[in-house]
Amino acid sequence: MGSNTLEIRQLNTSFLTQKGEVRAVMDVSLDVPEGKITGIVGESGCGKSVTAKSVMGLVKYPGKVMSGEILLDGRDIRDIPEKEKCALRGSEVSMIFQEPMTSLNPVIRIGKQVEEALLLHKDIPKEQARIRTVEMLESVGISDAGNRMRCYPHQLSGGLRQRVMIAMAMICRPKLLIADEPTTALDVTVEAQILRLMKKLCSGGTSILLISHNLGVIAQICDYVYVMYAGRIVECADTVTLFDHPAHPYTMGLLRAATSLRQDTEILETIPGVVPNLLHLPKGCSFAPRCGSCGDRCRGEMPLMYEAGEEGHMARCFMC
Ligand SMILES: Nc1ncnc2c1ncn2[C@@H]1O[C@H](COP(=O)(O)OP(=O)(O)O)[C@@H](O)[C@H]1O
Ligand SMILES: [Mg+2]
């Protein structure tokens, strides 16, 4: 068995707002094994991005990582000085976001932006940085990179901009890439291309944490999946098991919704109800108010993660 590039243990991240503590991430533990693609899936607002930002040390006031461990190659990076964190970001851990325009500088040519990501972390001559930049842009599928690198972000399509982001994230060959909804703004053809590209990067040795609200995206490339609901992991399994034998009623609901979409039915099946307010979580299981198979115990007590059949398959449900 290989080792884990990233291990998150009992992570709790809150927003200390005037109305009270919003517990965005609660007791989240997860592993991203070396050279694999690990997914986090869940509806909007369930804490996926806050989890990613906690790893990157990018949670902003009034948000705060309250407790837990974040181990990169076995080393806890949670409390290292900001200067060291800056050095890690980009060189060992990189992140790509949903909307590349918010991360690309609109007034700097894209080649220069990618090149600077390299020069910031690696002590190499400019000439060589230029060559590596062209190679990197070509390897993420930007043809005619020598010319295209002179473009400004607005001169490129959304798909090309996302490729530039990936090139920027990958140029220092980080151990870990965190991709937060990297294809959500793109059409399905471009989405499939970007996902294939991530798979290729992964087979080149990068461990990937892929975050998406879309089970279809997760199904295409992830080896193992964590399902999040209202700030907690509620199920985890290898991708095939999760899709063939989901154990948590929430995962089943997500799957039904995804299937009805795929079959183009007139009525889009959704999970009834809404994600609970993280300021006023129900006592007991957070999913209980929306759950079809909820019993008395579920309303009074938060379930732990229980074994759900196969090895490595766990679900936070009394009924599984
Ligand atoms: N700046 C903030 N102030 C207060 N609460 C926040 C803030 N940012 C996020 N949250 C809370 O954290 C929850 C999780 O957010 P997020 O991780 O962005 O969800 P998603 O799963 O869609 O990525 C939100 O539902 C919200 O309650
Ligand atoms: Mg998000």
pLDDT tens per residue across span 117-165: 999 999 999 999 999 999 999 988 899 999 999 999 999 998 999 999 9
Both 144 and 219 in a single domain? no
* Integer Cα distance of 141 and 197 in angstroms: 8
Average pLDDT, the chain: 92
pLDDT of residue 90: 86
pLDDT beyond 80 at 255? yes
> Closest residue (by CA) to atom 18 of ligand 1?
49
Residues 73 and 221 in one domain: yes
**In this structure, are 156 and 179 located in the same domain?**
no
204 vs 70, higher pLDDT: 70
143, 158, 173: which is the final residue of a domain? Answer: 173
Determine how many CB atoms are found less than 10 A away from the CB of residue 304. 11
| 253 inside domain | yes
- Which of 14-23, 155-164, 265-274, 305-314 is predicted with the least confidence, judged by mean pLDDT? 265-274
Contact between residue 27 and residue 10 where contact means Cβ atoms under 8 Å apart:
yes
What phi and psi, each to the nearest 5 degrees, are found at residue 40? -125, 125
User: Same structural domain for residues 60 and 203?
Assistant: yes
For residues 8 and 34, membership in a common domain is answered with: yes
CA distances to 149, 172, 284 from 133, in Å: 9, 10, 52
Q: How confident is the model at residue 1 (pLDDT cuts 50, 70, 90)?
A: low
Instruction: Give the residue from 129, 149, 173 where a domain finishes.
Output: 173
How many C-beta neighbours within 10 Å does residue 234 have? 25
Q: Is the CB of 172 under 6 A from ligand 1?
A: no
Number of domains the chain contains: 2
Distance 267 CA to ligand 2 centre (A): 26
Ligand 2 center from residue 42 Cα (angstroms) = 9
- Residue 281's pLDDT band (boundaries 50, 70, 90)? confident
Mean of pLDDT values over 173-195: 91
Over residues 94-130, the pLDDT tens digits come to 999 887 667 899 999 999 999 999 999 999 999 999 9
Q: Which of 18, 21, 49 to mutate to test the pocket of ligand 1 (most atoms within 8 A of CB)?
A: 49
What percent of the chain has pLDDT above 70? Answer: 96
Residue 272: what pLDDT?
Answer: 78
Judgement on whether residues 18 and 163 belong to the same structural domain of the protein:
no
Can you tell me the mean pLDDT for 155-178?
93
The per-residue pLDDT for 263 is: 59
Q: What is the mean pLDDT of residues 288-309?
A: 94
What is the rounded CA–CA span in Å between residue 228 and residue 33?
Answer: 19
CA dist 101 → 50, 86, 88, 122, 198 (Å):
20, 21, 23, 25, 20
* 277 vs 281: CA distance, rounded Å: 6
Ligand nearest to the CA of 232: 1
Ligand 1 nearest-atom number relative to CA 60 = 1
Residue 71 pLDDT level (bands cut at 50, 70, 90): very high
Is 18 among the domain residues? yes
pLDDT value of position 238: 97
User: What span, in angstroms and rounded, lies between the C-alpha atoms of 221 and 79?
Assistant: 32
Residue 299 domain flag: yes
The answer to whether the CB of 48 is under 6 A from ligand 1 is yes
Same domain flag for 35 and 148: no
Ligand 1 atom with the smallest distance to the CA of 17 is 4
For ligand 1, atom 24, which residue shows the shortest CA distance? 45
pLDDT at 29 over 90: yes
What is the rounded distance in angstroms from the CA atom of residue 316 to the CA atom of residue 237?
A: 12
Residue 117, domain member (yes or no): yes
Q: How far apart are CA 50 and CA 32, in angstroms?
A: 17
Higher pLDDT, 278 or 267: 278
User: How far, in Å, is the centroid of ligand 2 from the Cα of 236?
Assistant: 19
Q: Is residue 97 part of a domain?
A: no
Ligand 1 within 6 A of 149 CB? no
- Quote the pLDDT of residue 98: 81
Domain-terminating residue out of 173, 188, 218: 173
User: Position of tokens 């929430």?
Assistant: 250
pLDDT tier for residue 171 given thresholds of 50, 70 and 90: very high
Domain that holds residue 201: 4-92+174-315
Lowest mean pLDDT among 58-72, 168-182, 249-263: 249-263
Q: Is there a single domain that holds both residue 11 and residue 155?
A: no
- Write down the pLDDT at residue 266: 53
Question: Is 187 found in the same domain as 169?
Answer: no
Token duo for residue 99: 């909307």
| pLDDT of 273 above 70 | yes
Query: Do 157 and 287 have their domain in common?
Result: no
The full DSSP string for the chain is ---EEEEEEEEEEEEEETTEEEEEEEEEEEEEETT-EEEEE--TTSSHHHHHHHHHT-PPTTEEEEEEEEEETTEE-TTS-HHHHHHHHHHTEEEE-S-HHHHS-TTS-HHHHHHHHHHHH----HHHHHHHHHHHHHHTT-TTHHHHTTS-GGGS-HHHHHHHHHHHHHTT--SEEEEESTTTTS-HHHHHHHHHHHHHHHHTT-EEEEEES-HHHHHHH-SEEEEEETTEEEEEEEHHHHHHS--SHHHHHHHHHHHHHHTT-SSPP--SS-PPPTTSPPSS-TTGGG-TT--HHHHHS----EE-SSTT-EES-TT-
Q: What integer pLDDT is reported at residue 260 of this predicted model? A: 67
Q: Do both 255 and 243 map to the same domain?
A: yes
User: Do residues 87 and 166 both lie within one domain?
Assistant: no
Distances (CA, A) of 123 to 117, 118, 245: 11, 9, 50
What mean pLDDT comes out for the span 219-229? 97
The CA 231 to ligand 1 mean position distance, Å, reads 9
Any ligand 1 atom below 6 A from CB of 17: yes
Ligand 1 contact, 277 CB (< 6 A): no
Between CA 98 and CA 182 the distance in angstroms is: 5
Strand order in the sheet with 232-238: 93-96, 176-180, 207-212, 37-41, 224-229, 232-238, 314-315, 306-307
Ligand 1 binding pocket includes 15 (Cβ within 6 Å): yes
CA 49 to centroid of ligand 1, rounded, Å? 7
| For range 212-238, the mean pLDDT | 96
Predicted local confidence at residue 198, as pLDDT: 92
